[in-house]
Structure 1
Amino acid sequence: MSWHKVSEDAVNGLHAANADSSVGSAASTVEDGAINEESDEPTDLTTEPMAFLQGLNSGNLMQFSQQSVLREMILQDLQCQSNSLPKLESHNVGGYNFSMDLKEPPKSHWVYSDLLNKLYIRMEKTFNVDVQFKSIMPIQPLNLRVFLCFNKDVSGAVLRCQNHLSTEPVTHHNFKMRESLLRCENPRTTYCGSAQGKGISERYSVLVPLNLSRSGSRNGGLIRQTLAFKFVCQNSCLGRKETSLIFCLENSSGDILAQNFIGVKICTCPKRDCTQEVRHFRGENEKKRKSLATSDNEDDNDVMPAKIRRRTVSCKQETESNDGHDADYLPNDWEVSRTFDGQYRLAITCPKKEWLLQNIEGMIKESAAEVLRSPTKPNLRHYANNLLNLKKRALDLL
């Protein structure tokens, strides 16, 4: 049983909050049940956020997720996102449990690195993506919008180069498709956007209607559909800028219900480039780890007296040696890594379900506190909602 924790720098600062005065006032003002049961109106959360959070417990936390201000703020993010600039983030604010799966076939022309969350593929070669989501009542038409985006310049339009564009003849039916660097093999695909578009709905993208009639009983109640894509230019045509492929689950009104993304490098030698970048990524992490260990040793040497210094250095070296030895023998199902966009990923196996739920609830309470402090930051709301969905999945485990 494994679970993933993905945190951002803003969430890591929660422990630094001064909660002494708030917790003290909360003892006399807040009782169990942060929501007033006699009224549909939520209590005033802006004046006493920590007092409100103290009233939360594992029994009413799910009610909080459905009826409180946090839930309302999460649902507000579904509107007007299509006209905003894209963000390299994954979320499931609509509650559809949207996810993707790339399975590399044998002798394929592409390779996927789970460590870097990046796809390496040759131009004009097709790759399959299995998208899955659960059906929510009332049933509404859903579409999948997919487009390319520059990692360091999300406002920049990703356009085809003139060399490859000139090899494709212009017809009355392929005008927009010809301009799009991304192609989808689904016959019902619609090609959207223009070269001047910056917002999600305005830039070059492919819009694929999803088949809601597929039975999801064999996939744990999830609807699963396979889509095929390919690229008709290379990253070298784009000035060798790093790119990502963003998948947006939308309703018929264009509201974004969920989003996922992967890094993409379109090149002539996918396996070679993947191996080199993975090796470089691990090398950089090793350098950072050694740099931090060296700085810790220097700090200890500057502070400790001379007589104690020799003993301290000896113990420090022995501790580091033991840590390095243990790191080489971590279980196969444990993983600690950092994604290419600066976030953190943790995967562990818990021997007891109660331990798993306690860890998730602790992260939920801290993220809810940060949302109340900074209600205008959408990333925090997305992260809090993902944790709530994670707890639901954990509760369903046997």
Structure 2
Amino acid sequence: MSIVKYTVIGGGINGLAVARQLLIDHPDAEVTLFEKESSVAQHQTSHNSGVVHAGLYYAKGSLKAKLCRRGVHLVKEYCEANDLPYDQCGKLVVALTEVEVERLKRLYQIALDNEVPDVCMLYGDEIKKVEPNCIGIAALHSPTTAIVSYEAIAKQIAKDILEKGGKIQLSAEVKELKNNADGIQIIMKDGSVYPETFNYAVSCAGLQSDRLAKNSGDEANPKIVPFFGQYFVLDDQFTNDVKGLIYPVPDPKYPFLGVHFTKRIDGKMTIGPNAFLSLGRENYTGKNFNFKDITDYLVYPGFWRFSFRNIPAAIRESKTVLSQQTFIDECVKYVPSLSKMTVKPATRGIRAQAMNQDGSLVDDFVIRKDGNITHIRNAPSPGATSSMAIAEYIVREVMQTVEAKATVDANDSGIEMVVQGS
């Protein structure tokens, strides 16, 4: 019996989780992961808030709702098994107006629908029992929301892959995957052909997911449009004024959550992020720009449709980009005791936001199959929380369908299905 060969493209937490899951479920298979950087977890995995989301925002029946809840369990279990830090610090979503209270009640129902454990509504002074310095009319309390280091988790998964006999090819940027009669061919960035072929491939290319998918014969849409999120770290003397996570109630007029307090696994407290158009998919310093990346979204019709519909949001977010004090003021609304706080900039994160041609943002996870190639086309927050559950889902459900189909018609290389939640 011939050995089945799998390849995974992308060494972020999703790609690593998929490679690990393949080795768990198919221990006799060969698994090779390609990562374009000199080490794993160099992009979204190491540039995020570190929050293990409990499932407060995601519509019942969506992939986000299903895989987030499963992902929480798997991340916690993995951290415990590998002695990695996991701080169940809890989260408050705080309403400051009666309008926000009504929105908060809808969030509470979503949390109940998703079976988020121990969530409850708090009113008035009840909020101070959780966060003594926080004010608000009402709050949704999620005591099981946690924080971790996804970079540390990803690097541990990389070790697991090597220990299980998998291969990780670093500094190896893949440009294209080709479905050929004799297997899947890997075309590298320099145009060279990797000497091995593979039976199955999973593309987890994050910020470059649309480009790799399109180069490999998949549809051009959705398009990745990069948005940066700036964080600031509170100076140490202000850190203890907030115990855990404090978020605003999402405003349906705006596409992103808004500035909030987030505790880090190292004990530091941060405020952020804002959300504004990035001048590059990997522009973490904010000092550079990438002409190709900028041109890519400027010539995309969906970007302009999105922009015209979201001018108020752009104005709101631009204020926090241009003024650090405005950024701080947004947070002080929830914790007035921090009105004199001082902060330092932290590294930016870049969100790989998938956008449709009509200008709408793709809300749910999108996993698309093209022959024996599976593409993760959209995995924003809670993508890191859900990473191990996404891996299970791809390996045990999506790829099983591919493999069953392949045994019936090995020559069919057309797009077979799109998997996404409602």
Shared fold per TM-score greater than 0.5: no
Answer with 1 or 2: which has the greater Rg: 1
* Range into which the TM-score falls when normalised by the shorter chain: under 0.3
Q: Give the TM-score, by structure 1 length.
A: 0.23
TM-score by length of 2: 0.22
